[in-house]
Amino acid sequence: MKAITNVSGVDGTGQTLSNTTILIKDGKFTSIGASSIPEGYEIIDASGTYFTPGLIDVHTHLGVHEEGIGKEGHDFNETSAAATPQVRAIDGINPLDRGFEDARRSGVTTVQVMPGSANVIGGEMCVLKTTGTIVDEMVIRNPSGLKAATGENPKRFHGDKGRMPTTRMGIAAILREKLIEAQTYKEDRKAGKAARNLGLEHIVKVLNKEIPLRVHAHRADDIVTVLRLKKEFDIDLTIEHCTEGHQIAPFIAKQAIRVSVGPTMTPRSKIELADKGWNTLLALAEESVAFSITTDHPVIAIEHLMTSAILAVKHGLPEEEALKAITLNAAKHLGVEDRVGSVEIGKDADFVLWTGNPFDLRNKAVQTYINGELV
């Protein structure tokens, strides 16, 4: 049991905290603005620091693309086939990957870990806290989505090997075929006419809207193709990267979907990134599209999640919107807003004490807490 006193900062919902006392019990926030401290509580004086909720990165490859190892740590793309819905990121995560420590030191308390984008369907993903040595004990949602990818990556990984897909038409065709196959499998299983098929079971979760399809899509035309599939199969999905989202922001706004944007700090390393810029966030915000900011770690190192938000503000995004893009809106993107993303009674006590407002790049995280424990 802890009492955090003299708290000044923000709670992630848009409210400012000033000389507030926050109570924590059993890893949860139990009081925001307590007038007294019950007996037996450990008191942590937050004077001189700036308080925020723990940060959230919605799109990472932490633990499946390990740092400092090389090929041996590349467990994020099962490239043996163009569609591998049967694989699960949780089975490839090494919680001792140095990236998790970097995340904690930079105030990132929750991440989504997913397969890479080499395949049209890459497998299931999960959401976890950034502390622990047993992945199963770190997870807060598993699965949290099924990875799919459009564009150049599947074409390059598989087309260069002389197999489908070699075109964007082929990518869309594989997605349709697998969704139709899963529809048939669902009916056959219900009728007792089909043996278990792990990959199709995972796709059925998408058809049942138990999890969304989370689709890597940079170019505007690829985003439109994904939204066409959403309509055809009546599924939930998110757009991951959304690099050219500013080109079609009004159209995206009509679809009632969430998008993750980034990693915008990268150079324009391929044709799909030719029109990359911070203006994407501004255009989406203007159309009230729900968005999050991501590093796509290790494409951009996880410690630069806050840096990305700072640069978004530098280019015109309001500070409050930038913070929500890595806290509460990010939690909603992942479907875990009942647990994390803001400082509210009943939510996990994940928070960060900074040397000052973290939107000043000179400030840094002093202490990071997950489930009420200093990590």
CATH number, domain containing residue 193: 3.20.20.140
Q: Are 85 and 115 in contact (CB under 8 A)?
A: no
**Confidence bin at 157 (pLDDT 50/70/90):** very high
Kindly report, residue by residue over 92-143, the tens digit of the pLDDT.
Answer: 999 999 999 999 999 999 999 999 999 999 999 999 999 999 999 999 999 9
pLDDT confidence of residue 68: 87
Tell me the average pLDDT of the chain: 97
Q: Do 88 and 231 lie in a common domain?
A: yes
Are 336 and 347 found together in one domain? no
Answer yes or no: is pLDDT of 71 > 90.
no
Could you tell me if 301 and 295 are in contact, meaning their C-beta atoms sit under 8 angstroms apart?
Answer: yes
Amino acid at residue number 201: E
The pLDDT value recorded for residue 156 is 95
Cα separation, 332 vs 357, in Å, equals 24
How far apart, in Å, are the Cα atoms of 92 and each of 64, 143, 250?
5, 14, 38
| Band (277; pLDDT cuts 50, 70, 90) | very high
Three-class SS state of 192: coil
Please tell me the predicted confidence (pLDDT) of residue 132: 98
Q: Which residue has tokens 């087309």?
A: 159
Q: Do residue 90 and residue 136 come from a single domain?
A: yes
Residues 96, 157, single domain; the answer is yes
Q: Are residues 139 and 14 in the same domain?
A: no
Mean pLDDT, residues 271-291 taken together: 98
- The four Cα atoms 328, 215, 284, 126 give a dihedral, to 10 degrees, of 10
What pLDDT score was predicted for residue 57?
Answer: 99
**Phi–psi pair at 210, nearest 5 degrees:** -75, -35
Q: Tell me which residue of 110, 151, 148, 109 sits closest to 127, measured CA to CA.
A: 110
Is there a single domain that holds both residue 32 and residue 136?
no
Q: Residues 138, 211: one domain?
A: yes
| Residue 83 binned pLDDT confidence (cut-offs 50, 70, 90) | very high
Can you point out the beta strands (E) in 270-320? 290-293
CB of 285 closer than 8 Å to CB of 329:
no
Same domain? 284 vs 248: yes
Q: Sorting pLDDT into bands at 50, 70 and 90, what band is 253?
A: very high
Percent of the chain whose predicted confidence (pLDDT) is above 90: 98
The pairs formed by 194-200 with CB atoms below 8 angstroms and a separation of 24 or more are: 198/86, 199/83, 199/84, 199/85, 199/86, 200/85
Residue 69 pLDDT:
87
Confidence of residue 70 (pLDDT cuts 50, 70, 90): confident
Domain limits for position 135? 55-340
- Whether the CB-CB separation of 132 and 147 falls below 8 Å is answered with no
- The stretch 337-344 carries a mean pLDDT of 98
Q: What is the pLDDT of residue 152?
A: 96
Instruction: Write down the pLDDT at residue 244.
Output: 98
Q: Can you tell me the mean pLDDT for 321-336?
A: 98
Rounded to a whole number of angstroms, the CA Rg of the chain reads 21
Beta bridge partners of 141: 127
Q: Which residues 6+ apart lie within 8 Å of 109 measured at CB?
A: 54, 55, 56, 103, 129, 130, 131, 340, 350, 352, 368, 369, 370, 375
d(CA 317, CA 219): 22
Q: Is the pLDDT of residue 182 over 90?
A: yes
Q: Decide: 152 and 209 in contact? Cβ < 8 Å.
A: no
Strands 42-45, 28-32: pairing is: unpaired
| Domain shared by 258 and 326, yes or no | yes
Give the predicted TM-score (pTM) of the model. 0.98
Model confidence at 91: pLDDT above 90 = yes
CATH number at residue 353: 2.30.40.10
176 and 84 in one domain?
yes
Claim to verify: residue 324 and residue 215 sit in the same structural domain: yes
Rounded Cα distance between 72 and 283, Å, is 40
**Local confidence band at 19 (pLDDT 50, 70, 90 cut-offs):** very high
Mean pLDDT of 33-40: 95
Q: What is the pLDDT of residues 193-213, one digit of tens each?
A: 999 999 999 999 999 999 999
pLDDT of residue 60 exceeding 90 = yes
Per DSSP (E only), the strands in 183-330 are 213-217, 237-241, 258-261, 290-293
* Domain tally, the chain: 2
CA distance 329 to 290: 7
Under 8 Å between Cβ of 308 and 263? yes
230-259 mean pLDDT: 98
Q: Are residues 6 and 130 in the same domain?
A: no
